Amino acid sequence: EIFESSSGVIHLQYYTGGTVTLDQCQFRYNIVVTYNYQGYKPFSGAIFDNNIGDCGGAVTISGTRTLLQEERLRFIRCFFENNRAGSIIFYYYMPYGSDIYFYIYAGHKEIIVLKGQFEEPMLCTGNVLLTISGQGHHATSICNTMQSENSIVWVQQGSNVIIQDFYLFRYSMISTNAYLIDCDPDCTVIIKRCVLCNDQKANPGDKFNTGILNLCQNQGGIYNCIFLNSHITSGPLIWIKCALDYFDQDLHESANSTCKFQFDAGYIPENNPTQALFEFYNVTFRNVSTVDSTTPLINISSTPSTCIKFEFCLFEETTGILIQLNRSYINTEEDNIKQIKFNHCTWIQNGKIMNSTDIQEAGALTVQYIYYQNYTPDQFSDIDCMIKIGNVIVENCIFSDNEGSKANDILIEKGLLDEQLITFYNCFIGKLGSSLTVPNFSTFIYDKNLVDIIPTQLSSIKGISEYTSSQNRNKIINPSSTLAKGELTQFVSMMIKYDPGYNIQFQEGITAEETTLNVKYNKLSIFKDDSVQEEVIFLVKETPIYSYYAPYQQYNAFIDPYSSPLIAVEQSGEIFMKSIVILHFYEKSLNSVIHVKDEAKFNGIQLIFRPIVEQLAGMATLPTTEQTSPYLLCLGGFTILEQCQFLPTNFENSAAIRTMYEIGINSKEGAQYDDYNLTLKECQLIGMNIIDEAENTGSAIDAYGMKITLDACIFDMNTQQSNMMKNKINQQDLQMNEDEQTQPEEHLIPTCGWNTAYIKQNIGSLILSKGTQLTNLNQGAISLLGSTLTIIDADVQFLNNIDNYQLQGFNRNEDEDQPVVMKPTLLRRNIACGYGSRITSPIESFSENGLQEDSLWILKTDKGKKIEDDQQDNVYEIECQLAGGLQNVKSPLFIPHIDEASGIIRKDKLGLDITIIGRHLVRCGAVKYKVCEKIKITNDDGQEIEEKIKERELHCQTDLMENAIQWDNETQFTILTQYKTIRKWKSMEIWLIFADESQISEILSLSIGKLSTSAIIIIVVISVVAIIVVVAILIALLIYGYKQKNKIYAMRQLEEQIDNQSNNTHLQELDRQQNLLFMQSSQYE
> Do 257 and 227 fall into the same domain?
no
Same domain, 454 and 550: no
Give the CB-side neighbour count of residue 341, counting CA atoms within 13 A. Answer: 18
Nearest to 53 by CA among 93, 19, 122, 2: 2
Residue 631 maps to a domain:
no
Which one, of 395, 235, 229, 224, lies nearest residue 313 by Cα? 224
Distance CA 370, CA 416 (A): 12
The more confidently predicted of residues 515 and 45 is: 515
Strand boundaries in 450-545, DSSP class E: 452-457, 464-466, 474-477, 502-506, 510-514, 517-519, 523-528, 536-540
% of the chain surpassing 70 pLDDT:
73
Rounded Cα gap, residues 395 and 411, in angstroms: 17
Segment 209-224, tens digit of pLDDT: 889 999 988 899 999 9
Q: Which residues are CB-neighbours of 705 under 8 A, at least 6 positions away? A: 659, 660, 661, 662, 663, 673, 674, 676, 762, 763, 764
Band the pLDDT of 619: cuts 50, 70, 90. very low
Q: Does one domain contain both 328 and 449?
A: yes
Provide φ and ψ at 1032, rounded to 5°.
-60, -40
Quick one: 330 and 447 in the same domain?
yes
pLDDT above 50 (res 21): yes
User: Under a CB-based contact definition with an 8 Å cutoff, are residues 266 and 323 in contact?
Assistant: no
State the first-to-last Cα distance of the chain, in angstroms, to the nearest integer. Answer: 176
Q: Indicate whether 483 and 578 sit together in one domain.
A: yes
* H or E element in which residue 323 lies: strand 321-325
Residues 880 and 914 in one domain: no
Q: In what order do the strands lie in the sheet with 100-104?
A: 10-14, 59-63, 100-104
Least confident window among 291-295, 713-717, 761-765, 1057-1061 = 1057-1061
- For residue 949, the model assigns a pLDDT of 87
User: pTM for the full model?
Assistant: 0.79
Whether pLDDT at 473 is above 80:
yes
**pLDDT at position 1019 over 70:** yes
pLDDT of residue 729: 38
Q: Label residue 1023 by pLDDT band (50, 70, 90).
A: confident
- Is residue 223 within 8 A of residue 200, CB to CB? The reply is no
Convert the pLDDT of each residue in 780-812 to its tens digit: 999 999 999 999 999 999 999 986 555 544 444
β-strands 321-325, 365-369 pairing: parallel
Read off the pLDDT of residues 979-995 as tens digits, 9 standing for 90 and up.
888 888 888 999 999 98
- Same structural domain for residues 848 and 949? no
SS3 775: strand
The region, left, alpha or beta by phi > 0 then psi within -120 to 50, assigned to residue 451 is left
Domain contains 842? yes
- Cα–Cα distances in Å, from 92 out to 86, 97, 144, 642? 9, 12, 20, 61
> Residue by residue, what is the 3-state secondary structure of 71-135?
CCEEEECCCCCCCEECHHHHCCCCCCECCEEEEECCCEEEEECCCEEEECCCEEECCCEEEEECC
Check: CB of residue 725 under 8 Å from CB of residue 650: yes
Inform me whether the pLDDT recorded for 733 exceeds 60.
no
- Pick the residue with more confidence: 300 or 125? 300
Whether residue 163 contacts residue 193, with contact meaning beta carbons closer than 8 Å, is answered with: no
**DSSP-based three-state secondary structure for 815:** coil
The residue among 252, 253, 255, 249 whose CA lies nearest residue 268 is 249
pLDDT value of residue 707: 94
Domain boundary among 1006, 1027, 1055: 1006
921: domain CATH number is: 2.60.40
Instruction: Kindly tell me the number of DSSP H helices and DSSP E strands found in the chain.
Output: 9, 83
How would you classify residue 706: left for phi > 0, otherwise alpha for psi between -120 and 50, otherwise beta?
left
**Interval 298-325 mean pLDDT:** 90
Where do the DSSP E strands lie in 743-893?
757-769, 773-775, 782-791, 797-799, 831-833, 838-841, 858-860, 881-884
- Per-residue pLDDT reduced to its tens digit, 483-502: 999 999 999 988 888 787 89
- Residue 172 pLDDT > 80: yes
Query: Per the domain annotation, does 936 fall within a domain?
Result: yes
Classify burial at 484, counting beta carbons within 10 Å of its beta carbon; exposed 0-12, middle 13-18, buried 19 or more.
exposed
Which distant-in-sequence residues (6+ apart) come within 8 Å of 1056 by Cβ?
none
In this structure, the answer to whether residues 458 and 515 fall within a common structural domain is no
Under a CB-based contact definition with an 8 Å cutoff, are residues 641 and 601 in contact? no
- As a whole number of angstroms, the distance between CA 959 and CA 822 comes to 20
**Helix, strand, coil percentages in the chain from 3-state DSSP, rounded to 5:** 15, 35, 50
E strands present in 127-241? 129-133, 140-143, 153-155, 160-164, 167-170, 181-183, 188-192, 195-198, 213-216, 219-223, 226-231, 238-241
Q: What is the mean pLDDT of residues 583-596?
A: 92
Least confident piece of the model among 15-29, 100-114, 444-458, 895-909: 15-29
Q: How many Å apart are CA 371 and CA 301, to the nearest integer?
A: 10
Q: Tell me how many domains the chain contains.
A: 6
What pLDDT score was predicted for residue 59?
Answer: 64
Q: Would you say residue 246 has pLDDT above 60? A: no
* 440 falls within a domain: yes
Q: What are residue 982's phi and psi, to 5 degrees?
A: -105, 110
How many Å apart are CA 34 and CA 32, to the nearest integer?
7
Q: Is residue 658 within 8 Å of 703, Cβ to Cβ? A: yes
Helical (H) or strand (E) element with 1036: helix 1013-1084
Residues 670 and 529 in one domain: no
Domain membership of residue 523 (yes or no) is yes
**Statement to judge: residues 191 and 303 lie in one domain:** no
pLDDT confidence band for 726 (50 / 70 / 90): very low
Q: What is the radius of gyration, based on Cα positions, of the chain?
A: 43
What span, in angstroms and rounded, lies between the C-alpha atoms of 367 and 877?
61
Cis omega before residue 824 (within 30°)? yes
Assess whether pLDDT exceeds 50 at residue 761: yes
Q: How far is it, in rounded angstroms, from Cα 837 to Cα 864?
A: 10
452 and 531 belong to one structural domain: no
Asked if residue 971 and residue 877 are part of one domain, the reply reads no
The rounded mean pLDDT for the chain is 79
Instruction: Say how far apart CA 402 and CA 412 lie, in whole Å.
Output: 16
pLDDT bracket for residue 1013 (50, 70, 90): low
- DSSP of 1005-1029, one letter per residue? EE---PPPHHHHHHHHHHHHHHHHH
C-alpha dihedral sign at 992, 994, 997, 1002: negative
Instruction: Kindly state whether residue 630 falls inside one of the protein's structural domains.
Output: no
Range of the domain at 377: 249-467
Write the pLDDT tens digit of every residue in 34-80. 434 343 333 222 222 455 555 555 566 665 555 555 544 555 556 66
Least confident among 555-564, 654-663, 747-756, 1011-1020:
747-756
Find out whether 224 and 281 touch, Cβ atoms under 8 Å. Answer: yes
Residue 126 domain-assigned (yes or no): no
Q: Which of these three, 870, 895, 920, is where a domain ends?
A: 895
> Of 572, 600, 628, which residue is a domain's last?
600
Q: Is residue 925 part of a domain?
A: yes
Identify the band that residue 778 occupies on the pLDDT scale cut at 50, 70 and 90: confident
pLDDT at residue 718 is higher than 70: no
